[in-house]
C-alpha cells in the first residue's frame, strides 16, 4: 500500500487539473532504478496498463506496475516546501541501499 499525505494530494489534484489530464488518468508511481542517493522515482499522469496495481489514497488514483510495486509497499508520498527545495518526497522504508562507494542502492524486498 502507498499512502499520500493530504498536502501531496492537494498538489497532485492541482497539477492534474493544470495539465488537463484525462479524468480517468491516475498518478503513475514508478521506480526507475537506484544509486548512491537511493531509489529514483518517476511520477506522471497515465491510464492503467495491464498488470498495474490500481488503488486510491486521499482521493488520488495511483497506478503502479508490478515490479515497482514490490519496492514501493509502505511508501508515503508527501509534498515539501522548504529551504532545501520544493517538490514531492517519497518516504520509502524499502530503500535500504544508500552508499558512498558508487555501487548503488537497492530495494530490500
Domains of the chain from N-terminus onward: 3-91 (2.60.300.12)
pLDDT of residue 98: 57
Condensed to tens digits (0 to 9), the pLDDT of residues 27-65 reads 999 998 766 667 889 999 999 999 999 999 999 999 999
pTM above 0.85, yes or no: no
Q: Which residue has the cell 555501487?
A: 103
96 band by pLDDT with thresholds 50, 70 and 90: confident
Is residue 31 within 8 A of residue 68, CB to CB? The reply is: yes
Element (H, E) at 45: strand 38-46
Residues ≥6 apart with Cβ < 8 Å to 13? 59, 60
Condensed to tens digits (0 to 9), the pLDDT of residues 63-81 reads 999 999 999 999 999 999 9
Amino acid at each position: 500500500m502507498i499512502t499520500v499525505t493530504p498536502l501531496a494530494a492537494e498538489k497532485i489534484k492541482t497539477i492534474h487539473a493544470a495539465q488537463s489530464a484525462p479524468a480517468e488518468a491516475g498518478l503513475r508511481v514508478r521506480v526507475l532504478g537506484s544509486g548512491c542517493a537511493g531509489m529514483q522515482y518517476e511520477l506522471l499522469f497515465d491510464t492503467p496498463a495491464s498488470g498495474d496495481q490500481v488503488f486510491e489514497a486521499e482521493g488520488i488514483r495511483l497506478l503502479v506496475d508490478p515490479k515497482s510495486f514490490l519496492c514501493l509497499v509502505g511508501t508515503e508520498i508527501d509534498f515539501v516546501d522548504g529551504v532545501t527545495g520544493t517538490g514531492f518526497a517519497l518516504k520509502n522504508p524499502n530503500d535500504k541501499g544508500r552508499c558512498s562507494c558508487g555501487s548503488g542502492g537497492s530495494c530490500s524486498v
